[in-house]
Amino acid sequence: MPLGGLTVYLSEVKILVSAIFAVALASAAPGPPIGIVTASGHFTLQGSQVWGNATLFEGAIVETGEASSQLALRSGIKVQLGAGARAQVFADRLVLAQGLSQVGTLQVRGEPGSRVRIALGPRVEVAALTGVARVSTTSGVPLASIQAPNHMSFAMQQAASLTRTGCLLYKDNHFILQDDNTQEVLELNGQDLAANVGNRVEITGMMSTAKATVAPATGVFNVMSVSPRSQGGCLVVASSLQAQAQMPAGTTPAPAAKGGPARAPGGAPAAKTGMSTGAKVGIVAAVAGGGAGAAIALAGGKKSTSP
């Protein structure tokens, strides 16, 4: 090959290598700065150990050590990461892969192996991308247990009072409700529950620290008010939970003791009478000819897949 041609060829190779190197540098460059992370000890930022404070960039991964860290974002929102936490931080959200995060009066923790997205704004949206996210107040009052792929939103300065919507059912002498958004099943304690069994309702009240006594409930909810949202429509939910969509004949639950679940007189399970929930579902499906079967849907939370 002529020397001049070789020189041109080498020049082209040099330009190509320079272009590839520039692209690699651009892809490795951090995103725009979004705030500051501070800690009383050391923490890890993008794989490098830092002491004291550092600038946060879009998409940065923060891992805390023995000390907690505070993320002060440009939006004015402050987020605490507990000791031993790991999160990827963005301007409007963070994805918690390990440990505890606190936003305002909310504490969010993912169970081991879970990934939890926390959207930051006037309201805090907690979505379980995988596993289960548990939300509580800073004083330890449980607010929600959210299973993937569901989500739930909270006021940043969340009081203990909550509103839940779902099917109110009766099982093993207890009232239960499956939340439409999170699919969490709660044991209910309060007044005016019997009249709404089998209906989709909105309840307002507070989570109790007591443990649920009926499966598959994961918590106890003290109901302060009940508002019907729709009559009926809970047969499929009742069947999936092996619960009843109507009160057993002759059963009138007595007022529940403060802090405990409502029970029938004497505390003994009432005899089950009348047609079973499974039979009702079968009749509905047979009459509808299968087409309406899809219309009787178990209400669920909106799915969210992106971090």
Model confidence over 53-70: pLDDT tens digits? Answer: 999 999 999 999 988 999
CB 272 within 8 A of CB 171: no
**Backbone φ and ψ of 99, nearest 5°:** 85, -160
Measure the CA–CA gap between 49 and 68, rounded to whole angstroms.
Answer: 14
Q: What's the predicted TM-score (pTM) here? A: 0.60
**Backbone φ and ψ of 257, nearest 5°:** -65, 150
Range 161-287 has CATH code 1.10.10: no
What is the pLDDT at residue 192? 83
Buried b (16+ CB within 10 A) or exposed e, 269-279: ebeeeeeebee
**Backbone φ and ψ of 302, nearest 5°:** -65, 135
Q: Give the E-state strand segments of 7-99 in sequence order.
A: 33-45, 48-57, 60-64, 69-73, 78-81, 86-89, 93-98
Q: Please write the tens of the pLDDT for every residue from 179-197.
A: 998 889 999 999 889 999 9
What is the pLDDT at residue 30? 57
Query: CATH 2.40.50 region(s) of the chain?
Result: 161-287
Residue whose C-alpha is closest to residue 245's, from 236, 255, 256: 236
Measure the CA–CA gap between 169 and 64, rounded to whole angstroms.
Answer: 44
| E strand or H helix at 153 | strand 151-155
Measure the CA–CA gap between 170 and 163, rounded to whole angstroms.
Answer: 20
What is the pLDDT at residue 249? 78
CB 34 within 8 A of CB 73: yes
Instruction: Fill in the amino acid letter for 64.
Output: T
Instruction: Fill in the amino acid letter for 113.
Output: G
Measure the CA–CA gap between 283 and 61, rounded to whole angstroms.
Answer: 54
Measure the CA–CA gap between 105 and 162, rounded to whole angstroms.
Answer: 14
What is the pLDDT at residue 242? 95
Q: Would you state the structure tokens that stand for residue 143, as one six-digit string?
A: 């607010």
What is the pLDDT at residue 27? 42
User: Token pair 């891992």 is at which residue?
Assistant: 63
Q: Please write the tens of the pLDDT for every residue from 102-148.
A: 998 899 999 999 999 999 988 899 999 999 999 988 878 888 889 99
Enumerate residue ranges in the chain where pLDDT < 70. 1-31, 158-160, 250-306
What is the pLDDT at residue 140? 81
What is the pLDDT at residue 137? 87
